Amino acid sequence: MFAPQQYLTWLIPYYGRIRYDLATSSAASPDLARLLPLPALDDYNALNTLKETLAHHYALPTTDVQLTLGTSQALFITLAHLLKPGDRVLVEHPTYEPLWAVPQALGARVEFLQRGNDWDLTAKQLAPWTGQGVRALVLSDPHNPSGAVLTTAQILELARWCEAEGAWLVVDEVYQDFLSPQLTTHRHLHPRIIALSSLTKVYGLGALRCGWLFAPPEIVQGTEAVLRYLNGSNPPACAALGLAALAHREYFWQLSQTRARTNFQLVEQWLAQQPNLTWQAPKQGVFGFVRAERDLRPVLEQGCADHGVLAVPGVFFGEPHGFRLSWGADPEVVQTGLQLLSQVLAK
């Protein structure tokens, strides 16, 4: 039932071992000294306080907020609540593997909705599934692996289709905060949207495992029931550290933005010198999908072994001809990593 996920099984052994990391799709981990002095890590009141703080930051009622251990758990408990075996689920393609692997593991029938060459996705593409009993449409926005962002009008079209079909639009918005210093969420756009996120990607705070989902109260209550089967209660330590991080949110955001802008210029300059590579540059964020003429997985893996530089082969997103390139690390790391990647790809 729970088959190994190929991407994470491949990636996790590299954690902390890549000298020139062009694979991790998040801001580099900041200096956690900003969180000092450490809050009490055994205070269960931190759970409610974090829920209230997130509700305030995103202008939502607290009844719309469920705390989770990262976006991964938010995805799992949402789909575990929504789905029963045999339910039909649509998932964007190319995509981040857990978005389809989780519903598949839960017994759902997963079918793919192909994004266009410009990474677009519109409600017109849903016509073949109208009246076919779709239970959920799952996507990421900004899109992983391209970084492309759907317009508000496009999201609303998808949500209205879901509403007409009795389905839910589940949006992994973990990269959303890259787009603006003003916090926003897809949850505000339509009642049938469930939004998932965390402090991992934009703020570089994955070690805290501080995540959440935003949904109608009845969905939140259902996910709470699933959560009881997994870890009983979320640990107060994660909530306390998450609160400490949110107190410095603007600092962490500005740090990641400054680094992202500097590194993006390095990436654009590098790609201009790569005649066999193309891409559609993302407007914000720290990653994009680079198209190539062949499957580069063996080349990229050998490059990591020989030079300590790694980008993610596109095969893990269902798009073999290319790779996801990330630039969330320090500029010196990105610059040297790109130089080494040129050598790797030339072989």
Domain of 124, in residue numbers: 40-247
Q: Let me know whether 184 and 238 are in one domain.
A: yes
pLDDT at 177: 96
Number of structural domains, the chain?
Answer: 2
In a domain, residue 341? The reply is yes
Q: Let me know whether 85 and 176 are in one domain.
A: yes
Using alpha carbons, list the distances in angstroms from residue 197 to 63, 267, 271.
Answer: 16, 26, 30
pLDDT in tens, 93-136: 999 999 999 999 999 999 999 999 899 999 999 999 999 999 99
pLDDT in tens, 143-189: 999 999 999 999 999 999 999 999 999 999 999 999 999 999 999 99
Q: Of 56, 26, 82, 35, which Cα lies nearest the Cα of 238?
A: 35
- Give the Cβ contact number of residue 181 at 10 Å: 10
pLDDT at 117: 85
- What does DSSP say about strands 134-140 and 88-93: parallel, antiparallel, or unpaired? parallel
In terms of pTM, does the model score above 0.95? yes
Q: Are the C-beta atoms of residues 22 and 334 closer than 8 Å to each other?
A: yes
Token couple for 279: 């891409």
Which of 197, 220, 247 is the C-terminal boundary of a domain?
247
Token couple for 193: 């949207």
| pLDDT band per the 50, 70, 90 thresholds, residue 347 | confident
pLDDT in tens, 11-42: 999 988 999 999 999 999 998 888 888 899 99
E strands within the chain? 20-21, 65-68, 88-93, 109-114, 134-140, 168-172, 193-198, 211-214, 278-279, 287-291, 309-310, 312-313, 322-326
CA distance 215 to 55: 12
